[in-house]
Amino acid sequence: MDQLKAWLDRHSLSKHYDVFAKNSVDLEIISDLEEADFAELGLNMGDRKRMMRALRTFDEASTSSPGRTKTKTPVQSVTDQSGNIVDTTEKLHLTMMFVDLVESTTLSSELELEDYRDVIHQYQRVALEAIGQHHGHVAQFIGDAVTAYFGYPTAAEDDAERAVLAGLDICGGVSKHLSVAGRTIQARIGIATGDLVVEEQSIREGLAYGDTPNLAARIMATAQPGKVAISDRTKRLLGTSIECEWLGEYKLKGFQKPQGVWSVNETTETGLRFRSRQKHAISPMVDREDEMRLLESRWRAVCDGQTQTVLLSGEAGIGKSRLVEELGTRIDEDGGNRLNFQCSVHHKGSALFPLVSLVNQAARIRRSDAQEQQASKLRRLLNGWFSGPDNERAFALFANLLSIRTDVSDRVNDLSPEQLKTQLNQLLVNLAVRLSDRRPVLLLFEDLHWADPSTEELIDLLIERLDQHRVMILCTSRPEYKLRWTGLASVTSLTVPRLDDHFARQMMRNVLLGEIAAPEIETQIIQKSDGVPLFLEEMAHMVRRRLNDADSAHNESDIISLPSTLKDLLRAKIDGLVTAREVVPVCAAIGRTIYPSMVHAVTGLSFDQARSQLDYLSEVDILVPRGNQPDRSYSFRHALIQDAAYDLMLKSRAKTLHRQIAKVIVASYPDMALQQPDLLAQHYTLAGMPAEARDSWRDAAIHSASRSATEETIQHLENALHQNSKLGNQESEIALRKMFNVALNTRAFGSRPVLENMARLHELLLSSATVPEDAFLAIHVQFGVQLMLGDAANALKMCDDFDRIAEDCNNPTMKAVGNHNRGMAMFMLGNFSAAIAQFDSALELRRHCTVEDVLRFHAADIGPVDAAMRCWAQSLRGDDPDDVRVGIETVVIGLNSEQHEFSRCYALNILATAYQPLGDIDALLDLIEEASKISNEHNFKYWEAWSGIIRSWAWACSGESTLAISGLLAGIDAYLATGSTQITQYAYTLLADTYLRGGDAERALATIEKMKADQKEGGVAYHLGVAAQIEAKIRAVV
C-alpha cells in the first residue's frame, strides 16, 4: 500500500488513503474503478474528477506495468489539412535511464518461477512508481531491465536532475522492499543525456535512435550494486544539490573516445532553484545596482517595522533568482530569518506544494523515513516555531498536510477541506508574526508562474493580514504571470531588464576568467544571448570549456553552438505551447523576419490561421511582433529560442523546409530575392542545392560590393566557392576567383589570402585559358604575387609577356595595365625616370578604356593611382619641390570626383607619402587623415597600416617622438600582418629617422643597419636614396 500512498500524495489526494486502505483498494486495482465507485466510497465531485484525471495519466504510464495486460491502441498516422501523412519524426534532447536488477540470473535459478515473477513484479512497481513520481516516461520493461526517458513527451529544464532523483529512489526502494531469504536485493542504474531521433510510434515501443541509449546501458554496467552512475554530460546538467563522485574515464564498447562516468552519492535539499541548479562558481553580478538598492531600501523599511511586498518580474534567465540570492546574503548578515517557498512546474495542481516542500526541507523529512521518524522530525521543527496550544494544533494540521499518520490525526479528521485550509492559513499568518517578533523575516515565493491556487490564496492572506510587522514578502515570476497584487499599498513592482552590450561583455569576460576568445566568438555570444544573463553565462562557460579542451579541435560553429544546459530550458518553453508548436520550427527555418503570408505559403495554413498562430507565439514570448497590421512581421524574442526550435528538426525535414522557403521567396517575394540575395542563398545552402546556392551567394557578393561592404563581399564569395567545390565547375570557379581577387585586395592588399587566391587562379587560368584576356590575367596574377613578395626584378621580367599578348589582340586596357605594371616594377627597383615614362604611357592609354575594363584586371583604377605614383617618383628622384607640390595638388583636385573609394584611398596614401621627402608635414597629415577616414569606413587594412606608418613619422617631425615610435612599430606590425613587404624597408628607414629625432642615435643606427642587411638583390630599392640621407645624419651624430 506504500505505492498507493505515494501515488495519492503526488496527486494531492492523500486524505482518501484510509478509505482505500479500509476497502482493500491498492495500486494494482485502482485503475479498474469507475467514477461511480469513487462516489460510493464517499469522494466529493471535485475529488472524483481529480481522481479520474490522475487515473488517465496512470494508465498511460502503466501500459507496460508488470502483471497488467492491455491492448495497445494502434498509433494513428498524423495527417495535414490535405490528408497527406505528416512525418512526426523529431530530434529531442532527452535524459535516458537504464535500470538493471543485480544478480537476477542467480535469483531465477534459485527461486520457483512464481516467486521469481513476484520479485520481478515488485521490483518493476518500485521503478514505475519512482519514475512516475519524477515525471519520467517508462519506455520498456524487458525481463529485469527497465528503460525510461526524461524529457518526453514534453521537456523541462530539470529533466536530468529528475532522472537522477528517480534513480536514487529506485535503488533505495529496491533495497528497502525486496529481499529473498534474508538477502537484500539491489538495483544498479545508468543515466546518459543527449540528442535522440524519435518517432511517435517507435518511442511508445521504447525505441529511440542515437548513441545515448547505448551509452546509458554501458554506463549502467560500470555502476556498483545499489548505485546510480551517470555520464559526463548528465553531470554538467545537475546543480549543487546532487553530490557526485568522479569514477574516471572508461573505454566503453561502441564508443571511440573514453567516456567520463560519475557515481551519484546523495542529494541535499537547498530549497531554492537558484542554489540547487547552480552548476558553476557564481560570477560577480553586473548592472543590477538600481535593483539591489530598491530591494535593500524595502528591507530597511521592514527592519523598521513596516511590512513590505515586492513583486519581482522578469523573463527566464534574466537574473531574478540571483538578485534574491544576493539580497538573502545581506539579510543573513543582518541576522534576518528566511522562509523559502519554491513553486514547481510539475506541481501546479498540488495544493500548497511550496509549503509542503518547505516543511519537508526544514524538518529534514525524507520519503524513505518511517512514519514514526517523519512525525518525530516534524514535531521537533514545530517546537521551534510554535508554543502552547498552537503547537499541538500545528502538529495536527501539518501532519495532515504531509499525510503523516499520528496519534493526533483524529483532531482534524472531522474538519472539512475548507476548514482545514482556513485554520492552516491562519496558523501560517501567526507563524510569520511570531517569527517577526524575534527578528525580521523574508517570506520568499519563487516562480509564482508555477504556483498552485492555494498558494496564491495564502499570499493574498499574508498581504492582507500582515501590517506593521517586520515581514518582507518577496515574489518572483515571469512576465506571462498576471500579478494580482499590483496597486496595493506597500506593494512594489520591479521588472528586471536585459543587460546592454557593455555589461554583457563585462559579464562574459568575468566568466571566461582570462581565457581569450576570438572577437568574432565574443560578438556572437553577446548577440545570441541577447542580454539574458543565464544564456550568456552558460554559453561563456561552454566556450571556456571548449577552448580548454586539448583533446579535440572545435571550429567556430561548434564553439558557439547551443549548450546542453540551455536545451532543456528552451525546449520546455516550446513544448509547453498550447498550440502552434508545429509552426515554431517553420519560423526558425524562415529566419530573422517572419511574415504571416510566408508561413501560410510554406505550411498550407490559411493566412488567418498563420497570423493567429504567430500572434499566439507573441503572447507567450516566443516571438516579437514588428509593426502594425496589415504589414506586421515577427521575429524570435531570443536568438537561442530560434536555435532550440531549429534543433528540433531532423536534417531531412530542415532541408525540405528550406527548399520550400526558397521557392516561396522566388515566386512570391521577388523584391526580397533582389534586395536580400544572401537570405535566399542561405536557404539554398541549407536545402542542399549547391548550384542555386552558389549563384545566389555570387549575387549577394555583387550586391555587397555595390555598397562597398568589403567583408560581406568576401564572406559571400567564400560561400559561393565552397558551394561550387561540391559541383567541380572550373569555369565558375575562375569567375568567382576573379571577383574574390578584387575583394581581397580591397581589404588587405598583399595579404596571405590574396596570395593563395592568386596562386589558385593562376593555376586555373594556365590550365584552361582559351582567350587572350585569360592568358593576360594569368600572368598579371603571378606578377602581383612577385611584386607583393618584394621580388621586383622577376616581376619586371614578366612585363614582356604583357606587351606581347596586349599587342597581339590590340587591347587598350591590356596595354594600359601592362604599362602600369612595368612602371610599378621600375619604381620598386628605384629606376624613377623609367617608371615615370611608363606611368605616362599608362595614363595616355587609360583614356581609351573604361573603369570597369580596368577593374577586371586590377583592384584599383590605374588612372588616379599612376598619377599619384608619378608624383611620388618625382619626389624621390629629387625633382624641384615646387613642381612636385603642384603635381600633387593637381591630382588631389582630380580625386575629388573619384567614385571608386579603394582607388581614391590608394592614391591619397601615395600622395601623402610623396610629401615625406619634401618635409611638408601639415600637407602630409591632411591627406593621411582623409585617406584614414576612407580606410576606417571600408576596413581597408592594408591602407590603414600604411597610413599609420606615415602619420607616426609626421608626429616625430612635430616633436612627439615617444608617440611616434609606438605608432610606427604598431603600423609596421599591422602592415606585416597583411602579408605584403613592399613598404617594409621604407618603414624601417622612417623608424630609424624617428629614433634619431628622439635622441636615440644608437638605436637609429642599429635599425638602419638591419634594414640594409635585409636588403635583397633584385628586391625593393626605391627607399635607398632616403635611407642614405638618414644614415648620413645618424653617422654624423654617432
Q: CA nearest 1037: which of 991, 992, 989, 1005?
A: 1005
Residue 751 in this model has a pLDDT that exceeds 90? no
Greatest mean pLDDT among 158-162, 200-204, 416-420, 964-968 lies in 964-968
Q: What was the pLDDT predicted at 941?
A: 85
User: Is position 730 within any domain?
Assistant: no
Residue 1038 in this model has a pLDDT that exceeds 50? yes
Distance CA 742, CA 704 (A): 13
Give the HSE-up count for residue 793: Cα atoms under 13 Å, Cβ half-sphere: 5
Confidence bin at 928 (pLDDT 50/70/90) = very high
Question: CA dihedral defined by 592, 596, 601, 602, rounded to 10 degrees?
Answer: 40
CA 996 to each of CA 346, 876, 948, 988, 1029: distance values in angstroms, whole numbers, following the listed order: 77, 21, 19, 12, 12
CATH code assigned at 234:
3.30.70.1230
Out of 462-476, 774-788, 1009-1023, least confident range: 774-788
H or E element at residue 62: none
Q: What was the pLDDT predicted at 640?
A: 67
Q: Are 341 and 504 in contact (CB under 8 A)?
A: no
Distance CA 107, CA 98 (A): 20
User: Is position 75 within any domain?
Assistant: no
Q: Which residues contact 968 (CB under 8 A, 6 or more apart)?
A: 948, 949, 952, 953, 956, 987, 990, 991, 994
Distance CA 735, CA 547 (A): 38
Residue 922 in this model has a pLDDT that exceeds 90? yes
Q: Are 327 and 296 in contact (CB under 8 A)?
A: yes
- Residues 141, 143, 145, CA angle at the centre, nearest 5°? 60
The answer on 528 and 485 residing in a single domain is no
Confidence bin at 1009 (pLDDT 50/70/90) = very high
H or E element at residue 309: strand 308-313
Greatest mean pLDDT among 17-31, 176-190, 468-482, 783-797 lies in 468-482
User: Three-state DSSP class for 261?
Assistant: strand
Domain hosting residue 835, numbered range: 809-1037
The DSSP-derived string for 759-780 is: HHHHHHHHHH--SHHHHHHHHH
User: Is position 777 within any domain?
Assistant: no
Amino acid at 771: V
As given in the structure block, the three cell numbers for residue 597 are 503570408
* Sign, CA torsion 854/855/857/858: positive
Instruction: List residues bridging with 91 in a β-sheet.
Output: 197
Q: CA nearest 860: which of 943, 797, 984, 801?
A: 943
Picking from 516, 539, 561, the residue at the C-terminal end of a domain is 561
Other CB atoms closer than 10 Å to residue 715's CB: what's the count? 17
Q: What is the DSSP letter of 80?
A: -
Q: Residue with C-alpha cell 518526453?
A: 152
Q: How far is CA 329 from the centre of its chain?
A: 30
Q: What is the pLDDT of residues 113-169, one digit of tens each?
A: 888 888 888 888 889 888 888 888 888 887 788 889 888 777 776 788 889 999 999
CATH code assigned at 580:
1.10.10.10
Q: What is the DSSP letter of 450?
A: G
The answer on 374 and 475 residing in a single domain is yes
Q: Are 234 and 191 in contact (CB under 8 A)?
A: yes
Distance CA 90, CA 915 (A): 68
State if pTM tops 0.85. Answer: no
Q: Residue with C-alpha cell 531554492?
A: 272
Distance CA 149, CA 412 (A): 40
CA 951 to each of CA 242, 576, 800, 848, 910: distance values in angstroms, whole numbers, following the listed order: 62, 61, 37, 36, 13
- pLDDT, greater one: 978 or 476: 476
The DSSP-derived string for 933-944 is: HHHHHHT-HHHH
Q: What is the pLDDT of residues 1010-1020, one digit of tens each?
A: 998 888 776 88
Distance CA 926, CA 182 (A): 97
Q: Residue with C-alpha cell 628605384?
A: 830
Name the burial class of residue 674, with classes exposed (0-12), middle (13-18) and buried (19+) by CB atoms within 10 angstroms of its CB. exposed
Q: Are 311 and 294 in contact (CB under 8 A)?
A: no
Q: CA nearest 620: which of 554, 573, 587?
A: 573
Name the burial class of residue 36, with classes exposed (0-12), middle (13-18) and buried (19+) by CB atoms within 10 angstroms of its CB. exposed
Q: What was the pLDDT predicted at 723?
A: 95
Q: Which residues contact 142 (CB under 8 A, 6 or more apart)?
A: none
Over the Cα atoms of the chain, what is R_g?
A: 38
Average pLDDT over residues 94-115: 85
The answer on 380 and 260 residing in a single domain is no
Amino acid at 827: F
As given in the structure block, the three cell numbers for residue 239 are 546543480
Residue 924 in this model has a pLDDT that exceeds 70? yes
Q: What was the pLDDT predicted at 565?
A: 56
Share of the chain above pLDDT 90, in %: 32
The answer on 269 and 339 residing in a single domain is no
Q: What was the pLDDT predicted at 699?
A: 92
Confidence bin at 777 (pLDDT 50/70/90) = confident
CATH code assigned at 820:
1.25.40.10
Q: Residue with C-alpha cell 512525525?
A: 375
* Sign, CA torsion 485/487/492/493: positive
Confidence bin at 64 (pLDDT 50/70/90) = very low
As given in the structure block, the three cell numbers for residue 6 are 505515494
Q: What is the pLDDT of residues 276-312, one digit of tens each?
A: 444 455 667 788 888 999 999 999 999 999 999 999 9
Q: What was the pLDDT predicted at 549?
A: 59
As given in the structure block, the three cell numbers for residue 418 are 475548507
The answer on 621 and 518 residing in a single domain is no
Residue 347 in this model has a pLDDT that exceeds 70? no
As given in the structure block, the three cell numbers for residue 556 are 567556430
The DSSP-derived string for 132-189 is: HHTT-EEEEEETTEEEEEES-SS--TTHHHHHHHHHHHHHHHHHHH-EETTEEP-EEE
Q: What was the pLDDT predicted at 912?
A: 96
Q: How many residues does this entry show for the chain?
A: 1038
Q: Are 964 and 994 in contact (CB under 8 A)?
A: yes
User: Is position 687 within any domain?
Assistant: no
- Residues 1015, 1018, 1019, CA angle at the centre, nearest 5°? 50
Amino acid at 44: N
Q: What was the pLDDT predicted at 87?
A: 53
User: Is position 756 within any domain?
Assistant: no
Q: CA nearest 32: which of 73, 67, 74, 72?
A: 67
Q: What is the pLDDT of residues 569-605, one digit of tens each?
A: 667 667 667 678 788 889 999 987 788 989 999 988 8
Distance CA 318, CA 903 (A): 49
Average pLDDT over residues 906-915: 96
User: Three-state DSSP class for 850?
Assistant: coil
The answer on 866 and 959 residing in a single domain is yes
Picking from 472, 495, 518, the residue at the C-terminal end of a domain is 495
The answer on 373 and 298 residing in a single domain is yes
Picking from 675, 710, 737, the residue at the C-terminal end of a domain is 675
Greatest mean pLDDT among 357-366, 511-520, 554-563 lies in 357-366
Confidence bin at 545 (pLDDT 50/70/90) = low
The answer on 977 and 837 residing in a single domain is yes
Q: Are 61 and 128 in contact (CB under 8 A)?
A: yes
- Residues 116, 119, 125, CA angle at the centre, nearest 5°? 140
Question: How many structural domains comprise the chain?
Answer: 6
- pLDDT, greater one: 951 or 93: 951
Average pLDDT, the chain: 82
Q: First vs last Cα of the chain: how many Å apart? A: 103
User: Is position 162 within any domain?
Assistant: yes
Q: How far is CA 884 from the centre of its chain?
A: 58
The answer on 332 and 230 residing in a single domain is no
Q: Are 342 and 523 in contact (CB under 8 A)?
A: no
Q: Are 780 and 857 in contact (CB under 8 A)?
A: yes
Greatest mean pLDDT among 90-99, 162-171, 447-456, 907-916 lies in 907-916
User: Three-state DSSP class for 6?
Assistant: helix
**Phi, psi (deg, nearest 5) at residue 491:** -110, 125
- pLDDT, greater one: 615 or 671: 615
The answer on 886 and 1033 residing in a single domain is yes
The answer on 365 and 481 residing in a single domain is yes
Instruction: List residues bridging with 85 in a β-sheet.
Output: 79
Q: What is the pLDDT of residues 648-706, one digit of tens each?
A: 788 888 899 999 999 999 988 887 788 778 889 999 999 999 999 999 999 988 888 77
Instruction: List residues bridging with 95 in a β-sheet.
Output: 150, 193
The answer on 615 and 538 residing in a single domain is no
Q: Are 92 and 155 in contact (CB under 8 A)?
A: yes
CATH code assigned at 49:
1.10.150.50
Q: Residue with C-alpha cell 576612407?
A: 934
Q: What was the pLDDT predicted at 346?
A: 54
User: Is position 716 within any domain?
Assistant: no
Residue 748 in this model has a pLDDT that exceeds 90? no
Residue 759 in this model has a pLDDT that exceeds 90? no
User: Is position 282 within any domain?
Assistant: no
